[in-house]
Structure 1
Amino acid sequence: MTSQTDLAALLCSRLCHDMLSPVGALSNGLELLADEDDPEMRARCIELLEQSAKVSTDKLKFFRLAFGAAGGFGENVEVEEAKAVIASLVADAKRVEVNWALADATLPKPAVKVLLNLAQIALDALIRGGTLDIGAERTGGNVEIVARAVGNRIAFDESIGEALQGNMPPHEITSRTAAAHMIALVAEEMGGGLQYALSEDALVLGGVLPEPEGMIG
């Protein structure tokens, strides 16, 4: 089984990979700004710096909730927090429309972690744009979660699907599949499970997680 240390290292690799571009853009922008005397070009540099800073902040907010302990939140997280994080990621994507179906004002922290990661996987599949539908509700003592990507072309590495379902050998887990493996472990620990369905123009990711004890009601 992949050790906690190995998983943490793989998730750190994923974080560094995703942060390299916006942080690198910040560094390059500062270098250009230092050498630029033209007011119009300086204004353009500052605009690019602001954009890169926003992207960096949005990604860090996502990682905090999706990968980390999300300190500062209680056992439940307001769904508006999750919506804001995903909305920021969608804003950085091209030609993606997002639709929400979140029936409750709050969700257990593990469910939010699963929701965000499934939404990110679905969003990544929409390389030519499309529609991202995200839903979650508490029902019958469970939290049911779904993320559906619909577009002209769906790009999905089925090794991620294998990791989601807990079918990937531990030695084959990579930084690309580490997040899927992590939420599969979260679901397993809660007594639930994840699944996916892939067609030519749609990817559906889902999960059913039993409510943590003491939160049903």
Structure 2
Amino acid sequence: MTSELDLAALLCSRLCHDMLSPVGALNNGLELLADEKDPAMRQRCLELLEQSALISANKLKFFRLAYGAAGGFGEQVPVDEPRELLTSLTDADERLTLEWAVGPTSLSKSAVKVLLNLAAMGLDSLVRGGTLAVGAERADGNTEIAVRASGPRVAFDANVGKALDGSLSADELSGRTAPAHMIRLLAERDGGAVQYHHGEGALILGAVLPDAEGLIG
């Protein structure tokens, strides 16, 4: 069984892995700027630095809600927050399109974590670009969250699927599978469940959460 400390360490590993590229680009840009004398090239360096800084900030905001305690919010988080975060990630890649169909006006912190992590898995699967459709609604006394990733090539790590359904052993967990393990634990703790289906051209991820831990609005 994975302890809370082990899970926290794995999530930190995932965060560091995802932040390495934009932060590394910042460092490289600063080194180039220090040596560059041509005004046009210096301007280009500044543009790249600005872009890398924006990507870094957006990723940190994403991780704050997807993994962290989401300080600064009450028990409910306005849906504009996760929507803006996902928009910033998809806008950074012209091959990606976001479709948003969340009806309620707010989500619980648990629901936000589930939605953002499922969406992140969907984005990871779109290796050649595509469409990420995110939806949520209240039905039959539950909150239902659905994410569909579709594109020319949709790749899905089988171990992430095992982490979602609980069949991955504790010693097989890694930084890549830790988010799936975390949201499965969150859903089960609150009396809900997560599920997925990987078919030709699409990956469908879903969660059902009790209304007490779901959406209001």
Contact 1:108 1:211 in 2 (8 A): no
Q: How does 1:92-171 map to 2 (within 5 A)?
A: 92-171=92-171
Residue aligned with 1:149, SS: strand
* SS of the residue 1:114 aligns to: helix
CA distance in 2, matches of 1:9, 1:151: 33
1:176 aligns to 2:176 (yes or no)? yes
Counterpart-to-counterpart distance in 2, 1:210 and 1:148:
21
Task: Output the CA distance in 2 between the equivalents of 1:214 and 1:22.
Answer: 33
Check the 8 A contact 1:150/1:202 in 2, yes or no: yes
- TM-score (normalizing by structure 1): 0.96
Do the aligned residues in 2 keep the contact of 1:126 with 1:155 (CA within 8 Å)?
yes
Partner letter of residue 127 of structure 1? V
RMSD, matched Cα: 1.5
Structure 1: unaligned runs, 5 residues or longer: none
Measured against aligned partners, the alpha-carbon deviations of 1:123-181 in whole angstroms (never above 9, x if no partner) come to 11111111111001123332100000111111101210111122211111111100000
Compute the displacement of 1:183 (Å): 0.4
Q: Are 1:2 and 2:2 an aligned pair?
A: yes
Paired with 1:203 and 1:93, the residues of 2 have a C-alpha distance of 19
> Partner of 2:37: helix, strand, or coil?
coil
Higher deviation after alignment, 74-83 or 27-36: 27-36
In structure 1, what is the equivalent of residue 18 of structure 2? 18
Give the aligned partner of residue 45 of structure 1.
Answer: 45
Structure 1 vs Structure 2: percent identity of aligned residues? 63
Contact 1:147 1:204 in 2 (8 A): yes
Shift in Å, 1:200: 1.6
Runs of 4+ deviating beyond 6 Å: 213-217
1:58 matches 2:58: yes
Question: In the aligned structure 2, how far is the partner of 1:4 from the partner of 1:209?
Answer: 22
* 1:87 matched to 2:87: yes
Alignment length (residue pairs): 217
Q: 3-state SS of the aligned residue for 1:143? A: strand
Q: Which residue of 1 aligns with 2:189?
A: 189
C-alpha contact (below 8 Å) 1:142/1:208 kept by paired residues: yes
Distance 1:70 1:10 in 2: 19
Secondary structure of the residue aligned to 1:188 is helix
Amino acid aligned to 2:206: G
Q: Deviations over 1:50-107 (max 9, x none)?
A: 0000000010010000000000011010000000000111112341111111010101
C-alpha spacing 1:214/1:156, structure 2 compared with 1 (3 Å):
closer
Where do 5+ consecutive residues of structure 2 fail to align? none
Per the normalisation by structure 2, the TM-score is 0.96
